[in-house]
Structure 1
Amino acid sequence: MDASLLRCLLLVTAALASVLLARRSVRRAFGAGPAFVLWLLPMLAMALPWLPALPSQWGALPAIHVLPDGLAAGTAGAVASTHAPWPRWLWLAGAIAMLSRLVAQYLRLRRQSRPLPAALVTGLRQELHDLDPRRLRLHPSGPAVLWAPRSLVLLPADFLERFAAAERRLVLHHELTHLRRGDALWSLVAELVLALLWFHPLAWLARPRFRLDQELACDERVLRDAPHDDADYAHTLLHSVGLSPVPVLIPWLAEPQLKERLTMIQRHRPGALRRRAGVVALTVLMAGSVFVAQAAVHDQQAGQDLAYNSRMYPRYPAAAIKAGEQGTVILKVQVLADGSVGTITYEPEHSTTTSADLIAAATDAARQWRFNPEIKGGKPVTGYARVPVRFDIHPMPGKAGKDEVEKSSSK
């Protein structure tokens, strides 16, 4: 697997695990709305390669340690991929199958839906407020929201008979809240993410929990608008028929969600101040996490191809050894989109030596290196890497130095 894809997958895994572990605690502390905001984290992790790159001077690689015998300890970087391409084809086949299933389900629901009869539209006129009646459709899977370029509300043919007037008002309020919150779009994004991560067990574990958190956030918003309807809302849920979850629908009630939704209705909900504080705190936390992750990814995106560069480490110049010169040379290396080296600049303000021999040795070796180019918008682009090269005549005692001395003495 490509190193950049593997890093992205590890970040997404960490984000999914964090959300799954934190969602209940966040819900109890700040409410269902802020808890649903947590699901942005895995989506941001997937979008990292397309986010604006950090300033190139922040990308510094671990130091290369050059010893007098010419041996050097390499940096920890990404090794060029030599694996067969079959995992990519397998992933692509699974993603296409998932997306095809999603499209087929959507088209089937659209074909089965019908315009609302005029009598039903007239009977619901007061509950619809300013909703365009053309966004209402008749379908046995309703009440539900169907995502589309312009999301639709599906209602069953017996909607007027199935629900009393007060219950109809609450159900429609719930569905319209889904529309106002943009939940149909978020559901679509979640299904696309699942299609891309079809092989990932945490993605399948997260899917029903994402749906539940979305419903709880919608319930909380409805009850915030109508704070005296708690009992009626719970009664309506209890007397509703649960539907089997369908990827392209947001149903009024999916049976596995009932217990959690009733518990949330009965529990005391956080006030506005705590909810807003929770949203701000989570936003700052997620932004900081993305910043740190992006910095880590940036540091590795310009990583060296160790399989190739290990044969071309700098040699400690004999003149420098004789003169007792040592220290760290910092090179700013331009990494072209194909991984080759462009310009190389010595940075005296960050280096600890001004020895011309050491600078020349580091620069000569760097001209032959290869790098993993920086990724921006999913494509390799020209960037920069700061490479420290440390020349040390008398290395400090340690495992790396010991191993290198033993290798040298065994020759």
Structure 2
Amino acid sequence: MSAAVLSAVIAANLALAGGVAAVMVLRGPIRRRMGAGSAYLLWLTPLLCALAALAPAPMATTPLAPIVLTVGKAAREVVPSALVTPMAASLALLLWVAGAVVMAGVFAVRQARFTRSLGPLAPHPRLSGLLQGRHVNASPLVLATPWPRIVVPADFDARFQGEARDLVLAHERVHLRRGDALINALVVAIQCLAWFNPLVHLGARSLRLDQEMACDEAVLARRPEARRLYAETLLGALLVPRAVPFGCHWPAGGAHP
């Protein structure tokens, strides 16, 4: 039993890695030719590849079927059915579970620390649906508190006014409508289960970049005349200093293109 579960874990991770590698190659050309939204949708591929590796008879009716089926079949063939001895399989499975629990704890602590850094969250006095923290010199973001809500800094009214305020809030509301925070929570869960897979963590960061650019694209599709103001607002906004597992924001450590 342990060997079968371990074999499934390895097969799913190989398929995930193959799917992430394919998306990393394709996302740039797809974004240039078809837009950021299409590049964002590409990130369904790794998940479908992992499911194909686990399924006994994957369905071949999806548009991504050639990639999904090829990666899934290859992953199943790479992993032998009798992977290791029962004792070694049990130990390896225990190590995998322990790693997943530790990784989940790391994400939970990171989320708690970030949420505490915002101070007490209270409804914005004038804008319904927003929470306002005590922090300053930051940009609005979507944060799971515990459900996704838009959180703005204490100096939001002074730093974002008029049309610029409407644009930055439109960006966050696109995240809410699309359920991006829930997607990011699913990505975190996959990172915990695939904690030993470096390509999964690399893909998680790239997915968030594509997610943010797809959101920018959606806002500008509705407000094409505000492109310059939108860019200036982004340039004037300060990025989140560290990654937030359960939320939506431009990933820390890089400038917006």
Q: TM-score, normalised by structure 2?
A: 0.78
Q: Label 1:90 to 1:78 Cα distance change in 2 as closer, same or farther (>3 A).
A: closer
1:164–1:79 Cα change, 3 Å: closer
Q: 1:98 aligns with which of 95, 99, 103?
A: 103
**Separation in structure 2 between the aligned mates of residue 110 and residue 223 of structure 1, nearest angstrom:** 30
Determine if contact 1:144/1:155 at 8 Å carries over to the other structure: yes
Distance 2:79 2:220 in 1: 52
- Structure 2, unpaired ranges of 5+: 60-77
Map 1:190-229; keep pairs closer than 5 Å: 190-229=187-226
Residue correspondences, number: 227
Runs (4+) off by over 6 Å:
none
Please, which of 27, 31, 36 is the counterpart of residue 27 of structure 1?
Answer: 31
Output one character per residue of 1:163-199: Cα deviation in whole Å (capped at 9) or x when no partner: 2322211110111111011111111111111111111
CA-to-aligned-CA distance 1:60-112 (integer Å, 9 cap, x gap): xxxxxxxxxxxxxxxx9944233303222222122111111222333445554
Contact 1:105 1:248 in 2 (8 A): no
C-alpha displacement of 1:160: 0.7
**Compared CA separation, residues 227 and 51, structure 1 to 2 (3 A):** farther
Match of 2:65 in 1: none
Select the structure that is richer in strand. 1
Q: Matched residues in 2 for 1:231 and 1:240: separation?
A: 14
Aligned runs of 1:70-85 on 2, under 5 Å?
A: 78-83=80-85, 84=88, 85=90
Indicate how the Cα distance of structure 1 residues 169 and 54 shifts in structure 2: closer, same or farther if over 3 A, else same: closer
Task: Give the Cα separation in 1 of the matches to 2:157 and 2:58.
Answer: 57
AA in 2 matched with 1:98:
M
1:114 aligns with 2:118: no
Letter in 2 for 1:86: L
Greater relative contact order (CA < 8 Å, ≥ 6 in sequence): 1
CA distance in 2, matches of 1:77, 1:174: 44
Aligned residue among 166, 184, 187 for 1:187: 184
Q: What CA deviation, in whole Å up to 9, does each residue of 1:259-295 have, x standing for no partner?
A: 2xxxxxxxxxxxxxxxxxxxxxxxxxxxxxxxxxxxx
Higher normalized helix content (fraction of residues): 2
TM-score normalised by L of structure 1: 0.51
Counterpart position of 1:237:
234
SS of alignment partner, residue 258 of structure 1: coil
Distance 2:43 2:79 in 1: 31
Q: Is 1:44 matched with 2:48?
A: yes
Equivalent residue for 1:145, pick from 119, 142, 145: 142
Q: Report the CA distance between 1:148 and its aligned residue.
A: 5.4
Contact 1:16 1:42 (8 Å CA) reproduced: yes
CA 1:19–1:148: 2 relative to 1, 3 Å? farther
Contact 1:139 / 1:155 at 8 angstroms: preserved in 2?
no
SS at match of 1:153: strand
2:93 to 88, 94, 113: 88
The superposition leaves residues 349-391 of structure 1 with CA deviations (integer Å, 9 ceiling, x where unpaired) of: xxxxxxxxxxxxxxxxxxxxxxxxxxxxxxxxxxxxxxxxxxx
